[in-house]
């Protein structure tokens, strides 16, 4: 096979950041994705409809000339979020709300403490048909970092799903067999996104031979048995799993320091990375569903009408990309050779 043509895909989970960084991150995503669910963990976070609309305008201003890329906005849930906030967000066109347990990831200090206190908000979200996007990890210091996803499922996710049977829930960037099994066994209102790093790597790629900061993300990479479980589940073509890069850019110097930031900047080669995985799994026929159909169907949005084409061509992910102010960033899989390349960017 020398080329793959897919219905134009979407990214159902990524971080653009803000300010000057948008001139790098928005075109990187818009080159191959028609839409993307935009994470709200800015400083300060996007907690209401007005802030979401202002952030959307900044993203749209950073699109390449002629691009039709659509950012799909989200609210950052806090302990101060109200049902009225949800109604106003729905009226303003906000797509979903994001639940971060406090301290779970980058810029999550303002996030939720005591998840049960948000149950009235979840009820309103179900009423408004607004999906709940969950970073599914507990943050208690005594719980091993490699166990935090499993403990979150047992402690919080099972009760949420049981209490709100009409609420659409996306278990974001799952990393374990436990999460994959939970989603498979749950009702059809529960789905999950999976990142390229959790399909391509395991914790050996983070820790063996020295810590590799550009492979450090949260949730952290897990053992190879969990990686294999994720690879197996996407190879089945199950409609409960879809593309979400969790692309999370950071300047090189912020990753390569004594307390490096969590996040992999995968947008730069995202669709090619997923093609690499699906070819390794002998499942290229399942890539279109994962990248272009399952997410739209879950969110109740129309599937994209256009197509993209990947051609078989070896190329190397660059060691760095440079922001307008000259700051370098290291893209995910820098220096690795990929076998598929986008034929041309979306206009």
Residue 255 annotated as lining a ligand binding site? no
Residue 182 annotated as lining a ligand binding site? no
Residue 146 annotated as lining a ligand binding site? no
Instruction: Quote helix, strand, coil % in the chain, to nearest 5.
Output: 40, 20, 45
Residue 187 annotated as lining a ligand binding site? no
Residue 98 annotated as lining a ligand binding site? yes
Residue 16 annotated as lining a ligand binding site? yes
* HEC secondary structure over 218-280: CCCCCCHHHHHHHHHHHHCCCCCEEECCCECCCCHHHHCCCCCCCCECCHHHHHHHHHHHHHH
Residue 56 annotated as lining a ligand binding site? no
3-state secondary structure of 148: helix
Q: Do 249 and 217 meet the contact criterion of CB atoms below 8 Å apart? A: no
Residue 152 annotated as lining a ligand binding site? no
The torsion angles phi and psi of 13, rounded to 5 degrees, stand at -175, 110
| Strands in 15-54 per DSSP E | 35-38
| C-alpha to C-alpha distance for 331 and 314, rounded to whole angstroms | 17
Looking at 11, 246, 282, 325, which residue is catalytic?
246
Residue 262 annotated as lining a ligand binding site? yes
| C-alpha to C-alpha distance for 155 and 138, rounded to whole angstroms | 9
Residue 15 annotated as lining a ligand binding site? yes
246 is catalytic: yes
Q: Strand 169-171 to strand 96-99: parallel, antiparallel, or no bridges (unpaired)?
A: unpaired
Residue 298 annotated as lining a ligand binding site? no
Residue 198 annotated as lining a ligand binding site? no
3-state secondary structure of 328: strand
Q: Which residues are annotated as a binding site?
A: 13, 15-17, 41, 98, 135, 173, 218, 246, 250, 262
Q: Which residues are annotated as a binding site for Zn(2+)?
A: 13, 15, 98, 135, 173, 246
| Residues classed as catalytic | 246
Q: Which residues are annotated as a binding site for substrate?
A: 15-17, 41, 135, 218, 250, 262
């Amino acid at each position: 096979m020398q080329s793959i043509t897919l219905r134009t895909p979407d990214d159902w989970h990524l971080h653009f950041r803000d300010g000057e960084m948008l001139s790098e991150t928005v075109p990187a995503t818009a080159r191959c994705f028609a839409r993307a669910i935009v994470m709200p963990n800015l400083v300060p976070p996007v907690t209401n409809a007005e802030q979401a609309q202002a952030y959307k305008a900044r993203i749209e201003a950073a699109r390449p000339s002629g691009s039709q890329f659509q950012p799909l906005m989200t609210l950052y849930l806090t302990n101060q979020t109200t049902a009225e906030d949800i109604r106003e967000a729905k009226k303003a066109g906000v797509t979903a709300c994001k639940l971060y347990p406090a301290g779970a990831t980058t810029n999550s200090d303002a996030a939720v403490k005591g998840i049960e206190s948000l149950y009235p908000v979840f009820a309103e979200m179900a009423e408004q048909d607004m999906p709940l996007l969950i970073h599914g990890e507990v943050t208690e210091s005594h719980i091993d970092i490699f166990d935090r996803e499993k403990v979150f499922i047992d402690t919080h996710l099972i009760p949420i799903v049981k209490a709100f049977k009409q609420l659409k829930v996306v278990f974001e960037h799952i990393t374990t067999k436990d999460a994959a099994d939970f989603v498979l066994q749950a009702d059809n209102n529960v789905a999950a996104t999976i990142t390229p790093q959790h399909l391509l790597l395991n914790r050996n790629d983070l820790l063996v031979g020295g810590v590799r900061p550009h492979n450090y993300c949260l949730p952290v990479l897990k053992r190879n048995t969990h990686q294999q479980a994720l690879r197996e589940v996407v190879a089945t073509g199950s409609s409960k799993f879809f593309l979400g890069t969790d692309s999370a850019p950071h300047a090189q110097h912020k990753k390569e320091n004594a307390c490096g930031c969590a996040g992999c900047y995968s947008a730069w080669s995202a669709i090619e990375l997923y093609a690499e995985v699906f070819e390794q799994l002998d499942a290229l026929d399942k890539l279109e569903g994962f990248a272009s159909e399952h997410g739209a169907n879950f969110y109740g949005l129309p599937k994209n009408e256009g197509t993209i084409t990947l051609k078989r061509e070896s190329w190397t992910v660059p060691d760095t990309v440079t922001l307008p102010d000259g700051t370098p960033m290291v893209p995910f899989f820098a220096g690795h050779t990929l076998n598929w390349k986008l034929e041309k960017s979306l206009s």
